[in-house]
Each structure stands twice: as structure tokens, then as C-alpha cells.
């Protein structure tokens, strides 16, 4: 491509039409801040530096970008237009030389190949500036691309400043620019707020460069939807729907079955294997599903790894957990963070695990809570099993159940406690002490039968008051 630009991302605006205290660029699109998509794009393009212009909600924006390395932050004290925003980076970028690529933080659908085409055009034409454009059938609100009689670029006219004839132009400015830094910064310093909005337009730099004899080129998007910006909740929903459709289509092309593509949400961070099947109403977020995984309807999986051949049954919720191969989870199971299941584990209906591990072939088939526990191989946990891991103060305590142990129904483990290898715990027991390997532990009170008690009770109830 022959160019490594300095990338500047505009993210200082408040987004008044969102009617929100949250900075606009942090509103989510498919469960991620819209700004993250632009940062992903910037990092995917070979570049020298990435500069993020912040303003409204600066601290929130900075915090949301902590996971992105190599990003510099520049504050725009007052939001006085795009030109004013880029000007905040001048002292840092001008001495470095090179080209400047300007992106907007509220345009999450823009693709890498579109930016690469823009950069190639910029280099090949030796342009002072190259503008990304698109054809829109309804261009209201966008700056128009005006051309001369030979079809060459003439200028960009903002919508608010357009006359009647100019408003009929359907080629619009997509808000992405590449500038030759050797002429850009001096031209930017000459921009004045001589417009109806009283703002410093970055587009005015284009006119100044062209007036000075510089070449201005355009690169046109093949798909105009890539330039869709988000200024209100309706636009956010529209963009999210398009992104969701793109992602779902790509996974189906790669061998994933989506029972109901319109009713399935898979975010841009997830990775899916071949022959994965996902039923309607599922959310798959920042998750890896290995080959052959089945996710039944209404399940949500967040930041987790699901192994080959595992079935996640209806209505299950899994978060920051690891599930091995050929497991069954659910229906209506809840795997909370730091849960780890080995292969062939069965977690049944209404079972909850938290910060626990279960070894190969172990089972908890129904109605159990397993917290802060280490469960070995081939362990059977009966219905209604509970680990009592919280002491009422600041500490959580661990329960250890070793390989091959059998825990009867309605049993409680009062942690810290260890159940030895191959041990049995009788149903209805409350275990407060360690159980040796191969031992039987029973804590039930002796059964008492009172002959005739029920009959006498019924007789008393039938007597008149």
C-alpha cells in the first residue's frame, strides 16, 4: 500500500440527540461501544500513530479504551467543529511528518478494504487530500460533493450551507479523509468559522488545499451503508441490525447453522466452529464455540469457551466459564464466572455453579448450588446438593469432593470441608467435618414413628369449635 498514516479519530461529541448522560461513542452496537469498532479498524490498518480526540465524558471514554494499546488521547476543550478537533493534535503530529487519516468514532460499519482503497488512491495520485464519498438516494444532512464541468472534484458543501440545486446532489462526503501532512497543518491553521454553524470545518481545508494548487481526489464506497453514522437511538438500532446481519451471514457461509438468523445475536468478538447449531433467541458474546456445539433457544453465553460436541440446553446462562468436550449443560443452568467443566460433565436443570471446577464424567443433574468447590472425576451430586461456602463475614470457603464420591440428595457441605475419594454421603446430611476416603457419612437424626398420631390429629380437626 506504501503508506502508514497517522490516524486521528474524532470522539469528543456529546451526542445530544441520544438524550443520554453517556458519551455518544460509548453507546453500544451489538453489545460493544461503537467506538471499539473504529479502534479495531484503526489498529488493523498499518499506521504510525493513533490519536483519539476526547471531550464530553473524557474519563469514561478513556476508561472504555484501556484495553487498546498505543492510543494517544487529546482533549478538545470546546466542541467547535471537526477542524478544531483535529487541530488539538497538531503539536504532536506536525513534527512527525507523513499522512493524516481522519476517522469518526460513531461510524462502526466502515470496513478495512474501503480505507485501504482510499489510501491507495491517495498515494497513486500524489494527492494533497483524498475524500471518501458515497452515493445516497436521500442525502439530506450530509455534505455534498460538488464537481466541475469535467467531473473533477470542486468542493464539499455542508448541507446547512447548500442551495436548492446543490441539495439535489446525491454524492456525499462520508467523513473520512487522508491528508498530506506537508501541506495539511498549515492549511488547517487558516480555517475560520465562516459558516452558519460558527464552527471550524475540516472540509474547509479541502478548499484551501485545492486553491493552493493541491490535488484533491475522491474514493467512492461500493456499499454506502458503511458510512452510516449514529446520531440517535433509531440510527443505532439500524446500524446494529445491519452489523448483526453481516456477522450472521458470514458464520452461515462458514458452516454454522442459525435456526433463526433474525433472532440470533453473535458479536464481532466471538469465534464459531464448523457444524455449530444455534437456535432462536440466543446471545453469543466474546465466546468461542468449538465444532459441533449446539446452543438451544434462549441461552446466553458471555466470554466463555465451549468444547467440541457440547450441548447447551434451553435457557442456560454461562459467563466467563470454560466447558469441556461432550458436556451437557441445562436446561436453565447458570454457570457464573470462573467455572470450569472437564469433558463429559452433566449439569442439569436449575443447577448453579460459581468459581468451581468439575472433573471428567461428573454430574449435578438438578436443583443444586455449587460455589467455591473443586469436584473430582466421576462424582455424582444428588438433587438439592448445596455447598455452604459463605461464613457470613468476609470469607468464602472451599469444598473439595474427590474422585468417585457419591453425594446423596438434599445434602449440604459446610465449607471448608473435604470428601475423600470414593466416599458416600447419605441423603439429607449436613456435613461439617472431613469425610475419609471410602467412608459413609450420615448426619440424619434417628427416625421416630408415633403410632396413631395422624388419626388423632384428623379427629381433633373434625370436632366443632
Q: How far apart are CA 305 and CA 322, in angstroms?
A: 5
- The model's pLDDT over 168-177, given as tens digits with 9 standing for 90+, comes to 999 999 999 9
Residues 221 and 334 in one domain: no
Q: Which residue has the higher pLDDT, 232 or 198?
A: 232
Task: Please state at what angle helix 181-189 crosses helix 203-211, rounded to 10 degrees.
Answer: 110
The model carries a pTM of 0.90
Q: Give the active site residue among 6, 36, 84, 366.
A: 366
- Is 459 inside a domain boundary? no
Q: How confident is the model at residue 193 (pLDDT cuts 50, 70, 90)?
A: confident
Residues 204 and 315 in one domain: no
Full residue range of the structural domain in which residue 192 is found: 6-227
What's the grid cell of residue 181? Answer: 501532512
19 pLDDT exceeds 70? Answer: yes
Q: How confident is the model at residue 421 (pLDDT cuts 50, 70, 90)?
A: very high
Q: How confident is the model at residue 1 (pLDDT cuts 50, 70, 90)?
A: low
Residues 176 and 257 in one domain: no
Residue 352: its pLDDT value, please?
98
Q: Give the DSSP H/E element, type plus range, for residue 230.
A: none
Average pLDDT, the chain: 95
Residue 313: its pLDDT value, please?
98
Q: How confident is the model at residue 463 (pLDDT cuts 50, 70, 90)?
A: low
222 pLDDT exceeds 70? Answer: yes
What's the grid cell of residue 83? Answer: 477542524
- The model's pLDDT over 321-347, given as tens digits with 9 standing for 90+, comes to 999 999 999 999 999 999 999 999 999
- Is 463 inside a domain boundary? no
User: Diameter of the chain by CA atoms?
Assistant: 110
- The model's pLDDT over 363-378, given as tens digits with 9 standing for 90+, comes to 999 999 999 999 999 9
- The model's pLDDT over 365-411, given as tens digits with 9 standing for 90+, comes to 999 999 999 999 999 999 999 999 988 878 889 999 999 999 999 99
Residues 212 and 341 in one domain: no
Partners of 258 in the beta sheet? 278
Find the CATH number of the domain harbouring 362. 2.160.10.10
Residue 395: its pLDDT value, please?
84
Rounded percentage of the chain residues whose pLDDT exceeds 90: 86
Domain count, the chain: 2
Residue 465: its pLDDT value, please?
53
Cα 267 versus chain centre, distance = 6
Say if residue 356 is exposed, middle or buried (CB neighbours under 10 Å; 0-12, 13-18, 19+): buried
- Is 235 inside a domain boundary? no
The answer to whether the beta carbons of residues 179 and 191 sit under 8 Å apart is no
Residues 312 and 414 in one domain: yes
Pairing mode of beta strands 380-381, 406-407:
parallel
Find the CATH number of the domain harbouring 159. 3.90.550.10
Weakest-pLDDT range from 104-118, 155-169, 219-233, 293-307: 155-169
Residue 393: its pLDDT value, please?
78
Per the annotation, the verdict on 6 as an active-site residue is no
Q: How far apart are CA 434 and CA 453, in angstroms?
A: 38
Q: How far apart are CA 339 and CA 354, in angstroms?
A: 6
155 pLDDT exceeds 90? Answer: no
The answer to whether the beta carbons of residues 282 and 257 sit under 8 Å apart is no
464 pLDDT exceeds 90? Answer: no
Side-chain half-sphere of 450: how many Cα atoms within 13 Å? 5
- Is 240 inside a domain boundary? no
Residues 294 and 213 in one domain: no
Residues 128 and 275 in one domain: no
- The model's pLDDT over 104-133, given as tens digits with 9 standing for 90+, comes to 999 999 999 999 999 999 999 999 999 999
Residues 298 and 214 in one domain: no
Q: How far apart are CA 86 and CA 127, in angstroms?
A: 19
Mean pLDDT confidence for 83-96: 96
Mean pLDDT confidence for 133-155: 91
Amino acid at each position: 500500500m506504501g503508506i502508514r498514516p497517522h490516524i486521528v479519530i474524532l470522539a469528543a461529541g456529546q451526542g445530544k440527540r441520544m438524550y443520554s448522560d453517556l458519551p455518544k461513542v460509548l453507546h453500544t452496537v451489538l453489545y460493544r461501544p461503537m467506538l471499539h469498532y473504529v479502534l479495531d479498524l484503526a489498529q488493523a490498518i498499518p499506521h504510525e500513530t493513533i490519536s483519539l480526540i476526547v471531550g464530553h465524558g473524557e474519563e469514561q471514554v478513556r476508561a472504555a479504551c484501556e484495553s487498546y494499546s498505543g492510543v494517544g488521547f487529546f482533549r478538545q476543550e470546546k466542541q467547535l467543529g471537526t477542524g478544531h478537533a483535529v487541530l488539538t493534535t497538531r503539536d504532536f503530529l506536525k513534527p512527525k511528518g507523513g499522512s493524516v487519516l481522519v476517522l469518526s468514532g460513531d461510524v462502526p460499519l466502515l470496513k478495512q478494504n474501503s480505507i485501504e482503497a482510499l489510501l491507495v488512491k491517495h498515494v497513486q495520485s500524489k494527492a494533497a487530500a483524498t475524500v471518501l464519498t458515497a452515493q445516497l438516494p436521500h442525502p439530506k444532512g450530509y455534505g455534498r460533493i460538488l464537481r466541475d464541468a469535467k467531473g473533477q472534484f470542486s468542493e464539499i458543501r455542508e448541507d446547512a450551507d447548500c442551495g436548492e440545486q446543490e441539495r439535489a446532489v446525491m454524492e456525499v462526503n462520508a467523513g473520512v479523509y487522508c491528508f498530506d501532512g506537508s501541506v495539511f497543518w498549515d492549511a488547517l491553521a487558516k480555517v475560520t468559522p465562516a459558516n452558519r454553524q460558527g464552527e471550524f470545518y475540516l472540509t474547509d481545508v479541502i478548499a484551501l488545499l485545492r486553491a493552493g494548487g493541491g490535488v484533491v481526489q475522491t474514493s467512492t464506497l461500493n456499499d454506502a451503508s458503511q458510512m452510516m453514522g449514529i446520531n440517535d437511538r433509531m440510527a443505532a438500532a439500524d446500524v446494529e441490525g445491519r452489523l448483526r446481519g453481516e456477522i450472521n451471514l458470514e458464520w452461515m457461509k462458514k458452516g454454522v447453522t442459525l435456526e433463526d438468523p433474525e433472532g440470533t445475536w453473535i458479536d464481532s468478538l466471538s469465534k464459531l466452529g464448523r457444524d455449530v447449531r444455534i437456535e432462536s433467541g440466543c446471545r453469543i458474546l466474546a465466546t468461542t464455540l468449538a465444532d459441533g456445539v449446539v446452543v438451544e433457544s434462549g441461552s446466553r453465553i458471555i466470554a466463555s469457551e465451549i468444547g467440541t460436541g457440547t450441548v447447551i440446553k434451553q435457557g442456560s446462562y454461562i459467563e466467563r466459564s470454560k466447558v469441556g468436550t461432550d458436556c451437557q449443560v441445562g436446561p436453565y443452568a447458570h454457570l457464573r464466572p470462573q467455572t470450569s467443566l472437564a469433558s463429559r460433565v452433566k449439569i442439569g436443570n436449575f443447577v448453579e455453579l460459581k468459581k468451581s471446577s468439575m472433573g471428567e464424567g461428573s454430574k449435578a443433574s438438578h436443583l443444586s448450588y455449587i460455589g467455591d468447590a473443586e469436584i473430582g472425576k466421576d462424582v455424582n451430586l444428588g438433587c438439592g446438593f448445596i455447598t455452604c461456602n459463605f461464613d457470613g463475614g468476609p470469607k468464602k470457603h472451599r469444598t473439595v469432593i474427590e474422585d468417585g464420591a457419591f453425594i446423596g440428595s438434599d445434602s449440604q457441605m459446610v465449607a471448608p470441608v473435604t470428601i475423600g475419594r470414593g466416599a458416600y454421603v447419605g441423603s439429607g446430611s449436613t456435613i461439617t467435618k472431613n469425610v475419609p476416603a471410602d467412608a459413609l457419612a450420615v448426619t440424619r437424626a434417628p427416625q421416630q414413628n408415633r403410632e396413631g398420631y395422624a388419626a388423632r390429629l384428623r379427629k381433633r380437626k373434625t370436632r366443632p369449635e
